[in-house]
Amino acid sequence: MSVRILALVGSLRAGSHNRQLAEAAAKLAPEGAEVVLFEGLADVPFYNEDIDVEGDVPAAAAALRAAAQGADAFLLFSPEYNGTMPAVLKNAIDWLSRPYGAGAFGGKPVAVIGTAFGQFGGVWAQDDTRKSVGIAGGKVIEDIKLSIPGSMTRFAQTHPVDDAEVAAQLTEVVARLHGTAAEITAA
């Protein structure tokens, strides 16, 4: 059985280390797992109930919801902006939490990881992301954690997939998320 894992990256920067981490996750996914990066978070308008009208949802938000509905699990990549998650990631969570009680996360497994320039690798942002996505209906796997500090120096010349330590840790994260999603889907 194939498990589709939707990756949401909280950084819009072209050279984002979190995006590179997501690309590495896609390359390192075990057999039977497909990690798909959602393109287009920059185009999703800020959540507003006035524009979240059935049959008239903005196209970018509808595309995000469709991708999320087709996913078996989620892998969120969060840098840390001013001590918390970036607005683009929070906005995606807000769109996916609706309609109330029937959001796209719907009990699906979610892991939150990432890298940041600071010495703790974005732990605060990742903790806030876990809290938010859990409230939004995701089944957060609390013990899957990967916070890589010093991203600007560590990945200055090396893509995360070529960093043996990071590749091993990332492989374990994706394998565990895949296993959890496969168990839930089979049940």
Instruction: Give the structural domain span for 118.
Output: 3-186
Number of domains, the chain: 1
| Alpha carbon distance 91, 76 (integer Å) | 13
Per-residue pLDDT of the chain (187 residues; tens, 9 = 90+): 699 999 999 999 989 999 999 999 999 999 999 999 999 999 999 999 999 999 999 999 999 999 999 999 999 999 999 999 999 999 999 999 999 888 999 999 999 999 999 898 999 999 999 999 999 999 999 999 999 998 999 998 999 999 999 999 999 999 999 999 999 888 7
| Alpha carbon distance 142, 133 (integer Å) | 11
Q: What is the CATH number of the domain that holds 134?
A: 3.40.50.360
Check: CB of residue 86 under 8 Å from CB of residue 18.
no
Global confidence as pTM:
0.96
Please choose, from the candidates 151, 146, 68, 155, the residue with its C-alpha nearest in 3D space to the C-alpha of residue 111.
Answer: 146
Half-sphere exposure of 32 (CA within 13 A, CB side): 11
Check: CB of residue 69 under 8 Å from CB of residue 77.
no
